Amino acid sequence: MTLVQLEYVIAIAESGSFVEAANRSFVTQPALTTQVKNLEKELDVVLFDRTRKPIIPTEVGAQIIEQAKEVVQQSRKIPDIVSEFNTDIKGNLTLGIIPTISPYLIPHFINDFNSKHPKVNINVREEITEETISKIKNGDLDAGIIATPVDTKGVIFIPLYYEKFYAYVSPSHPAYYKDELSRNDLRVDELWLLKEGNCFRNQVINICSDREEQEFKNHFRYESHSIESLKRIVEIKNGMTLIPELAADNIPKRKMDMLKKIPDVNPYREISLVVSRQFLKKRLIDSLKNTILEKLPRNMTQKPEGFIIDTNIKV
């Protein structure tokens, strides 16, 4: 039994095809088929039901493939173990960040991190929370930055910072003339929301006085994955949206009157670094964490007295 054979059976299970698995593995289909047959002969089992299209694992094959994934994933960590003993911090870091965090947080730390660690190649991917956690568990990501709390197992959450929620209100909305808003001013049917599947949307609804979604009052409905898009819609249409504290940094002075605090709720979101329970690259990830903390206002890195809004995410 070899790691190559295990990688081949994983590729077949994921693609459902010997031909596609061979293409993914950059080998010929006969060579891949021979290796799989040799493994089946060695184990004295049939790993795949070849009569089905797409090909699926047999009952015993499915269990073996799950174990194979664990073995291959662990084998790929060996270079990371070696790098932990090197004097220099170097290597590759693949980081998943949810879209409501990445455009506001990355500019704060990326240049400084690159300057400190010129031998580190950092690859940042925008991923939703569920995908981030899933890919950390299967080894496709080294770490993630997401909004928490999240109900899941098998990962570790390291709180980084806390940011307030602000209302961003159209000048044509009656609430624009208030110095600050209360929960009673926040109605779901008057808010521009992110698309379903975004944890930020869940948090915004949790803040509102009426948490049941109703028919939107405007004749135009717009849902986006981008907070910046919602800000722009508020500026040209009626209504309001909620934005996180870092998203307020780039609001021009002439529009600051549109930004309103919500003191009776005092809502915050918690932003955490998430890693596997068996995570390596510890020095690299610790350096990333410390660089982020150095670049944020100190008050944002302290747990607030306000209300941390749940994400309603379960993975």
The class (CATH top level) of 3-75 is mainly alpha
Alpha-carbon torsion (139, 154, 276, 82), positive or negative:
negative
Q: Are 3-75 and 162-267 the same fold in CATH?
A: no
pTM of the entire predicted model = 0.74
Q: So what's the pLDDT on residue 53?
A: 85
In the prediction, which pLDDT does 72 show?
A: 85
CA–CA gap between residue 242 and residue 265 (Å, rounded): 13
Can you give the residue ranges of every domain in the chain? Answer: 3-75, 87-155+277-296, 162-267
- 87-155+277-296: which CATH topology? D-Maltodextrin-Binding Protein; domain 2 (3.40.190)
Residue 170 in contact with residue 176, Cβ under 8 Å? yes
- Report, at the CATH architecture level, how domain 162-267 is classified: 3-Layer(aba) Sandwich (3.40)
Q: Which stretches of the chain drop beneath a pLDDT of 70?
A: 80-88, 209-222, 279
Alpha-carbon distance 244 to 207, whole Å?
13
Q: What pLDDT does residue 217 have?
A: 53
